[in-house]
Amino acid sequence: MSLGGKIAVVTGGSRGIGRAVCLRLASLGATVVVNFVSNPAAAEETVKAIAEAGGRAEITKFNVAVVSEVEAAFKDILERHGRIDILVNNAGITRDGLFVKMKDDQWDEVLNTNLKGAFLCTRAVSRAMMKQRWGRIINVSSVIGFSGNAGQANYAAAKAGISGLTKSVARELATRGVTVNGVAPGYIVTDMTGGLSEEVTATIKAEIPMGILGEPEDVAGAVAYLASEEARYVTGQFIHVNGGMYM
């Protein structure tokens, strides 16, 4: 697979799955725009790692949930590079809590970042991709969006919404050479799972047929495939990267 000459934007690209995706796309030749909102040092580390590997990358700060910031950022990227070929909607947060005790802001923050953010960024690149008649939009969902999970009604709802968004936009853009797909990770070794106790981690592993947690690179491989010409006839689909936890 080669992504030489392509411009890729990865939201939430400063660490975890996002960083792995940035590194993989850059290794295939893409120029990667690494989005962050609160941790510039981590974003710079991602860019440095890409540069040390011989790739090209830059950082851009914007909050995916804020319309004005998204529109300004994508306008700037398009003006500087002339095109955007790949968008990976990876930015996401959690605000866990039992549903009956969940506060409005816990719900709103997660839906705004995880679902509305994907909508805003996708809308911001769609016209350019349609005009150039080539584009790859990859939305990062979660196994939780398909299976549900106690204490994560907001997160599950947002990630389930990503599924509907992906399939609907895929239908609208299919005739213009733009594919829209998703990747649904299971439990991956990231900061989000790093705080789990050994007991909880053991319980999770017992629910996974492969008996292990995944690595960010496992997800990055699926994203890279969907971003490539190899996946030209794949749209409206989800690749589940979860060790068999959800089939």
Q: How far apart, in whole angstroms, are the C-alpha atoms of residue 167 and residue 170? A: 5
| Mean predicted confidence (pLDDT) in 17-46 | 98
Reported confidence tier of residue 141, pLDDT bands at 50, 70, 90: very high
| Mean predicted confidence (pLDDT) in 89-109 | 97
Q: Calculate the CA dihedral of residues 118, 189, 61, 22 and round it to 10 degrees.
A: -80
Answer for the pair 10, 88: CB distance below 8 angstroms, yes or no.
yes
CA distances from 222 to 51, 68, 219 (A): 22, 31, 5
pLDDT of residue 202: 93
- List the catalytic residue out of 155, 187, 233, 246: 155
Provide the 8-state DSSP code for 114.
I
List pLDDT tens digits, range 73-91.
999 999 999 999 999 999 9
User: What share of the chain in percent tops pLDDT 70?
Assistant: 100
- Look-up of token digits 């997160």: 155
Q: State how beta strands 7-10 and 238-241 pair.
A: unpaired
Domain locations along the chain: 7-187+216-240
| Mean predicted confidence (pLDDT) in 173-180 | 98
Q: What is the CATH number of domain 7-187+216-240?
A: 3.40.50.720
What is the average pLDDT score of the chain? 97
Q: How far apart, in Å, do the first and last CA atoms of the chain sit?
A: 27
User: What share of the chain in percent tops pLDDT 90?
Assistant: 95
Query: Would the pLDDT of 193 be above 80?
Result: no
pLDDT of residue 195: 74
Question: How many other β-carbons are positioned within 10 Å of the β-carbon of residue 115?
Answer: 24
Is 233 among the catalytic positions?
Answer: no
Structure tokens at 1: 């697979």
